[in-house]
Amino acid sequence: MLKVVKKAESSAGKKVLINVIGILAALLTAAVFLALSGFNPLEVYGAMLKGSFGTHYRFTQTVINAVPLIILSLGISVAFKMKYWNIGAEGQMMMGAFLGAYFALYHSTWPKPVLLVVMLLAGCVGGGLWALIPAWLRAKFNTSEAITTLMLNYVAIKWIVYLQYGPWKDPKAFGFPKMPNFTDSAILPSLGGIHIGWVIALVLVVVIYLFMNHSKAGFEIAILGESENTARYVGINISKTILSAAFISGALCGLTGIIQASAVTNNLSSALASGIGYTAIITAWLSGLSAPVIVIVCSLFAILTQGASYIQTAFGISASVASVLQALILFFVLGSDFFTKYQLVWQEKKKGAN
């Protein structure tokens, strides 16, 4: 019989090798699926790269897809490092966008630099405060944050729906349920043909890396994640660490929300998140909660997303086929992570055992 056994820590080289094998297996399996669907796998893979980098516009769309994933993954990684399972990135993103949008809609006459800074800070505060609710429940009553953060996602989205259909509904939209578009003073500027969210994302990668690896607070978060008893023994304030890490995690998610609302959609709507918060959980986990690796994984995932979108038009591939293709690749990549930590051992059944 086969038995799953936890193995000793794999070397960095072995982890890379296992992940590469996983990616190759994913591409091979997806190629078989494409061939059975009547498509040339090599042409489809080439088109995916062309769809991601073929023109300046496609390249910018790939970067735009990567930016929110990077920042959300950074936020989630801070919480996950503490073994605090923040599944609420969607809701924190929406609440950050909501608070930032308040200033964008009702203080649009402020000077643009001032307004943009206030909007970004408001986004951080909105997401951070929303994340503090389940963190307080965890610190006070040991409530499962996986459940409370998930539930608050729906509360946040319904709050935005209420605003969209009610108090913030655009009177000039001829009855259509949408909020007013942001004015030019509330839209993030571009750099290199792409909104400056990509600059913010790269700066945050450096900041989070230094915070998690070279600061006392980051050390305390890691220790708490390893063992709460050890953290308590060395004098770490458990409740304070949980609340501060959750706030940082939510703040980064909220910042993502206002960046997307300002630079991409140019308004606030209930469709702003559209599942990206859950995708970021996957990318954060695949990155091993490492800030530099997050950039690579999120960029590859953005390429996959943009490429899959392009082949729908180039080959007439349905959205369902493109989704299956993405799912196969993710399945194998996630599966390869299993083999970096565990191994299958054949164990003969003892005589006389039932």
pLDDT, tens digit only, all 354 positions of the chain: 667 777 766 666 777 787 788 888 888 888 898 888 888 888 888 988 899 998 889 999 999 999 999 999 999 999 999 999 999 999 999 999 999 999 999 999 999 999 999 999 999 999 999 999 999 999 999 999 999 999 999 999 999 999 999 999 988 888 888 899 999 999 999 998 899 999 999 999 999 999 999 999 999 999 999 988 899 988 999 999 999 999 999 999 999 999 999 999 999 998 898 889 999 998 898 888 999 999 998 998 899 888 888 888 888 877 777 777 778 877 887 777 777 777 777 776 665 555
Rounded to 5 degrees, φ, ψ at 118 are -65, -40
The reported pLDDT for the residue numbered 15 is 74
The reported pLDDT for the residue numbered 313 is 82
In a domain, 26, yes or no: no
The reported pLDDT for the residue numbered 285 is 86
The reported pLDDT for the residue numbered 104 is 96
The reported pLDDT for the residue numbered 287 is 86
The reported pLDDT for the residue numbered 10 is 65
The reported pLDDT for the residue numbered 44 is 87
- Are the C-beta atoms of residues 167 and 101 closer than 8 Å to each other? no
The reported pLDDT for the residue numbered 133 is 97
The reported pLDDT for the residue numbered 342 is 75
The reported pLDDT for the residue numbered 155 is 96
Domain range for residue 264?
Answer: 68-305
CA-to-CA dists, residue 204 to 185, 196, 248, 263, 282, angstroms? 24, 13, 12, 18, 19
The reported pLDDT for the residue numbered 323 is 77
In a domain, 19, yes or no: no
Number of structural domains (the chain) is: 1
- Are the C-beta atoms of residues 5 and 343 closer than 8 Å to each other? yes
In a domain, 301, yes or no: yes
Per DSSP, what are the bridge partners of residue 345? 3
Alpha helices in the chain (DSSP H): 12-36, 41-53, 56-81, 89-106, 112-141, 145-165, 197-214, 216-226, 228-233, 238-259, 276-286, 291-314, 319-338
In a domain, 82, yes or no: yes
In a domain, 61, yes or no: no
CA-to-CA dists, residue 291 to 212, 213, 250, angstroms? 9, 10, 16
How far is 64 from 196, CA to CA, in rounded Å? 10
Per DSSP, what are the bridge partners of residue 344? 4
The reported pLDDT for the residue numbered 336 is 78
The reported pLDDT for the residue numbered 192 is 86
The reported pLDDT for the residue numbered 54 is 87
In a domain, 109, yes or no: yes
